[in-house]
Amino acid sequence: MTGPSTGPRAELTRESTSRTAEAAGLTLHYHEAGPQDAPVVIMLHGGGPGASAWSNFGRNLPVFAERFRTLLIDQPCFGRSGKPVLDKDYFSYSADAIAALTDELGIAQAHFVGNSLGGGTSVRMALNHPHKVGKLVLMGPGGVSVNLFAPDPTEGIKRLFEFNTAPRPAKEQLRAFLSVMAYDQSIVTDELVEERWASATDPDTRLGSARMAAAFAEPAWAEDWMLWREAHRITHPVLLTWGREDRVNPLDGALVALRTIPDARLHVFPHCGHWAQAEQADEFNRLALDFLSH
């Protein structure tokens, strides 16, 4: 494990909050800030080219760190974490790795905030490691949502496949993918595209993407990532959040989860795509903090 804790009054940068730890034979990278004696919140990022914990939640970290010991974790196959060959479905593998990390860090229980792919891992955490989970905030989560009316694959998933399967992906393919993620196109800046491009085209990142995709393509594990089949077993309080204009996991995907999870409630952000934490940051922060604090 490297690096001391960072309090909320310190300058919270990508590097100042950066930590690494070995858990279950895997190197996991994460960012940490907030009081050591506060309740813990773990934030799990979505997928997509160049995705990482910091790219999803870096701007939310200072706000959450005022109340919580907050960890943003690069999931396996992403960011600076290891890029292993998976031996089970992705959500189960990632959940087991994060459970091992919490043991390594002495964290008995945490609240989870999961976006898209990270939402699926958060749900698998609640199902497979229920004693380690307090409350769940799920943002357009994967696996537990079912598109009842929207076409499948969705526009966002098509753009993702186009980039990931291209022998030589183009920067404009990445921009097209990011543009689908956001309702407010002003956040798809040249700076964002360049940052994600540098990561997405790194050979190590490409390897991680390929290994994750292989796990989702494995027929023997298909039922394991169809989390909606098990959602009725989630006993934790759950806040489902969705962007009304989400073109990756559309809003109709919330209905089965809302009906099936016993203690679920739903908040819909207008004028918002797949990145509520960025596009509606102030409202998202207030909503999530209130839910997690009471």
- Contact between 76 and 82 under an 8 Å Cβ cutoff? The reply is yes
pLDDT beneath 70, residues of the chain: 1-10
Q: Looking at residue 11, what is its pLDDT? A: 84
Model confidence over 206-228: pLDDT tens digits? 999 999 999 999 999 999 999 99
Q: Looking at residue 14, what is its pLDDT? A: 96
Q: Which of the residues are catalytic?
A: 274
* Residue appearing with tokens 């921009």: 175
Alpha carbon distance 35, 5 (integer Å): 8
- Residue from 167, 177, 172 nearest 247 by CA: 177
What SS3 string covers the chain?
A: CCCCCCCCCCCCCCCCCEEEEEECCEEEEEEEECCCCCCEEEEECCCCCCCCHHHHHCCCHHHHCCCCEEEEECCCCCCCCCCCCCCCCHHHHHHHHHHHHHHHCCCCCEEEEEECHHHHHHHHHHHHCHHHEEEEEEECCCCCCCCCCCCCCCHHHHHHHHHHHCCCCCHHHHHHHHHHHCCCHHHCCHHHHHHHHHHHCCHHHHHHHHHHHHHHHCHHHHHHHCHHHCHHHCCCCEEEEEECCCCCCCHHHHHHHHHHCCCEEEEEECCCCCCHHHHCHHHHHHHHHHHHHC
> Residue 212 has which token pair?
């994750």
Cβ partners under 8 Å of residue 110, min gap 6:
39, 40, 41, 42, 71, 102, 132, 133, 134
Q: Is the peptide bond prior to 153 cis by the omega test (within 30 degrees of 0)? A: yes
Q: Looking at residue 6, what is its pLDDT? A: 46
Q: Looking at residue 255, what is its pLDDT? A: 97
Alpha carbon distance 263, 259 (integer Å): 9
> Residue 117 has which token pair?
């792919």
pTM: 0.95
- Contact between 228 and 258 under an 8 Å Cβ cutoff? The reply is no
Q: Looking at residue 228, what is its pLDDT? A: 97
- Contact between 274 and 243 under an 8 Å Cβ cutoff? The reply is yes
**Residues 101, 107, 111, 114, Cα dihedral to 10°:** -10
* Residue appearing with tokens 């310190």: 10
- The residues with which 41 forms a beta bridge, in sequence order, are 70, 111
Model confidence over 180-210: pLDDT tens digits? 999 999 999 999 999 999 999 999 999 999 9
Alpha carbon distance 57, 228 (integer Å): 25
